[in-house]
Structure 1
């Protein structure tokens, strides 16, 4: 989580989100931003089901279970929205060309 927050801080300070995610510039590297969110969602599902429920700390379908699962579902939903946004930005009708080549 610390590395995720550190990475987001660096990208924000560099202006990456304003240029390549919410702006008009395109870069195929911006699709890599989807991976940490999906990984967080998967990690939270394992934590809820194998960590909390299987060990008996939390009952399945309890409030605590759904709280952790809700965070995972929100993370997954945000990554779907980001993917759709990037698809619209890269493949929609635009005259913009790739500013940063894929590396």
Structure 2
């Protein structure tokens, strides 16, 4: 699922999620598929993950960033909008106390 999220492979992600793969499973860097989709601006994947119950606010990575932090840091404005529309906490802080607005 992580590879599908990185590559924006909507069909593969949907298949894996339909087969019961955990949408919140973390990789070795504690990043979830939602983080990876957000970093790369894969809006449709963000929607699919959210529809399958993926956490929109899970912290991950070295700085304990949320998917919103990841999307903002990479300048993925459509992803930011989609994440916020799916209920992201815009006041969430990463390891250094920064919200997405600080990035």
TM-score range, shorter chain: under 0.3
TM-score normalised per structure 1 = 0.28
Question: Comparing both chains, which one has the higher relative contact order based on Cα–Cα distances under 8 Å and sequence gaps of 6 or more?
Answer: 1
Give the structure with the larger helix fraction.
1
Give the structure with the larger strand fraction.
1
